[in-house]
Structure 1
Amino acid sequence: MSTDTIVLERSGITPFLHRYQAPARVGLKVNAYRGYEVEGLARALAAPDLADCPLECVMVGDSYFMTHLGRSSTVLADAAEREWALGTLVGLVAEVRAALDACFPAHRRPFLLADLPDGATATPAAALAAGERFRAAGADAVKVELAGDRDLECLEALALTGGTTLGHLGYTPQRGALSRHGDSVEDAQRMFARARRVRDAGAAGLIVEMVSEPVNQALSRPDPDGIPLYSVFSGRAEWGGQSLNVWDAVVRPAGRSRFFPPTAVLDAAQVPTAYTPDLIADRMAELVRLTLDGRFPLSPRTALTPEETAQVSATEPWSA
């Protein structure tokens, strides 16, 4: 049996890769960064009414630098910071791997996704080295933010190794401006074309962030030529996967935002004493219920007119 086969069998990656096969379902991805957060997540999903919760993925993301460490962004200043960041995330992946194996029974264990931080896609060689470190630490897959052609080359190099790789389109925090994507017919078509390029480069899945809801819905439709996705701040899609964040489920954002989870109860100053597995379990259970009931996330505003929305919705995005 190959190493890749063992990885697939030990994790939840197989249902993710085959989500569009009957019976179809919406899959969940959850960002969690520390072992105690995984413990809280596992307790949340032990609730009787969440026994069939379709948790597919846990991701250790570079957003850790903003949530837990209080940095203003995920952008890194120099080579020393980039090496520190990669080493930090590799350590967190190992911690989360151990917690997943300890807290989830094998048949419910999600696959572990590691996020390549700023600088890790400077060259394909750098991406391959980072991916190797993440997989050695226990990651089942890696994610690449795709802000340009260089990142796509890195994704292709990673995919050619046989490892499971996901691409990230739309708002890319490491090198992108904070704006919504696919909010015109022309931009929607560009998003679809980029998604096809990501698929053709060998990605097994896609994460879209801050894209127009009609674009999210179109990309999420079951299609034999498509790849499954998770969405972030992109509204809801009947067939699409949804990304949630343990931190956001518990800790209020610094500013008011109607699009963040309504479940948060702590201010950041309370985290050192009150951010516990018990509270995480309570808040994550509620957020998962809201998500599965279709009450979260909210649909974002769009600049698309009803006629343009219909045009985008009628597009087959995975066809050339």
Structure 2
Amino acid sequence: MVVETPCHPSLSLHPTIAPYIRRYESPAQTGLKINLYRAVEVEGLAIALDALSPRPPVECVMVGDSYFMTHLGRSTTTLDSEPAREQGMNTLVGLVAEVRAAVDTNFAATDRPFVLADLPDGTVDTPAAAYTAAGRFFAAGADAVKIEVCSASALDCITAIAPQGAVFGHLGYTPQSGTVRRHGNSLAAASRLFAQARHIRKAGACGLILEMVSEPVNQSLSRPDAQALPVYSIFSGRARWGGQSLNAWDAVVKPPRPARHFPPTAVIERTEVADEYNAKLIGDRLAELIQMTLSGWYPRSPRSPMSESEADRLTEASPWKES
């Protein structure tokens, strides 16, 4: 017996990102967001995609403040002084310009991911500061910017930026100010995340990043709905209709300690990066990680204290509908 896939309503997509969101062309597709920071990583991604058939839908590349931890070896993304914040912002603006140029060089216009820039610590203290920082990223070539949402003031910053360009909200674990833990592991906690997602949408965001949320929450927020925002998730398990966030650095460089949810594809130590971290190796490792993701082998499903019946209730919920 042939079981037909039901038709799902399309998301109401922001015009800036609408040409790039390809995951709803087939129920078998997962929209991919690749975190990367330098031109060599863009070159590696292009090599990876050329090696895969059919070519997977990489919708987005993001230049994130995790660069401070990966390439610069810092222990955190928080910046503890005004000079550090200004230097951090200048660094990321330069990286966005570098990645923009590399994306335009290595990808045809019809196959090009959009460039998402991560607003670093200190740039969302006020709506005016966020507006100015976002403007610098847009001028450097970003198609959209991202804000970690852990307070009501972050929503005001989204509202301030939205008339200027596309903006994504980041929910769950927020590295700039959050404690490392999983979010949405109970029905009550999931309901709070759903409410936050609706607030982010109402503030003017056009997309959502989920980090370290429970898999049922990820699945529920990712399910196609005309009122939904497109979602990319990281360390949040699998969601059939969601977008998955991968990291070029993590695909190649081993974490400093064993990490259950990190990619199993990494082959070099941090001490080997200067000699070994090149486009060919990045392409090889990213190709394997992307293939593992599309085949369902990655990411691993996180443990959850939620019962099966509670998880079913969440995945059947309508998180974007105002209660």
Does TM, scored on the shorter chain, surpass 0.5?
Answer: yes
CA contact (8 A) 1:128 1:158 kept: yes
Structure-2 residue corresponding to 1:188: 190
Output the amino acid matched with 1:218: S
Structure 1 stretches lacking a partner, 5+ long: 1-6
CA contact (8 A) 2:22 2:57 kept: no
Shift of 1:259: 0.8
CA contact (8 A) 1:16 1:27 kept: no
The alpha-carbon distance between structure 1 residues 73 and 50, as it changes in their structure 2 partners (threshold 3 A), is farther
Output the amino acid matched with 2:44: G
Structure-2 residue corresponding to 1:91: 94
Mapped to 2, the partners of 1:16 and 1:301 lie a distance apart of: 32
Mapped to 1, the partners of 2:312 and 2:228 lie a distance apart of: 20
Deviations 1:279-311 (A, max 9, x none): 001000000000111110000000111222122
Structure-1 residue corresponding to 2:280: 278
TM-score of the pair, normalised by structure 1: 0.93
Mapped to 2, the partners of 1:152 and 1:17 lie a distance apart of: 24
- From 113, 116, 120, give the equivalent of 2:119: 116
**Aligned to 1:160, what secondary structure does the other structure show?**
coil
Structure-2 residue corresponding to 1:135: 138
Shift of 1:17: 5.3
Mapped to 1, the partners of 2:217 and 2:106 lie a distance apart of: 36
Shift of 1:15: 4.1
Structure-1 residue corresponding to 2:35: 31
| Map 1:1-320 → 2, pairs under 5 A | 8=16, 13-16=17-20, 20=24, 23=26, 25-51=29-55, 53-161=56-164, 163-320=165-322
CA contact (8 A) 1:62 1:115 kept: yes
Mapped to 2, the partners of 1:56 and 1:17 lie a distance apart of: 6
CA contact (8 A) 1:212 1:300 kept: yes
CA contact (8 A) 1:17 1:204 kept: no
Structure-1 residue corresponding to 2:10: none
The alpha-carbon distance between structure 1 residues 168 and 269, as it changes in their structure 2 partners (threshold 3 A), is same
Give RMSD over aligned pairs. 1.3
Structure 2 stretches lacking a partner, 5+ long: 1-14
CA contact (8 A) 2:22 2:59 kept: no
Mapped to 2, the partners of 1:188 and 1:160 lie a distance apart of: 30
Mapped to 2, the partners of 1:132 and 1:15 lie a distance apart of: 22
Output the amino acid matched with 1:33: Y
Mapped to 2, the partners of 1:310 and 1:18 lie a distance apart of: 27
**Aligned to 2:50, what secondary structure does the other structure show?**
coil
Output the amino acid matched with 1:64: Y
CA contact (8 A) 2:119 2:147 kept: yes
Q: Calculate percent identity across the aligned residue pairs.
A: 57
CA contact (8 A) 2:23 2:57 kept: no
Output the amino acid matched with 1:37: E
Deviations 1:32-85 (A, max 9, x none): 10001101111110114142x100000000000000000000000011110000
Deviations 1:246-277 (A, max 9, x none): 00000010110121101000110000100011
Deviations 1:175-225 (A, max 9, x none): 111110000110000000100111111111100000000000000101011
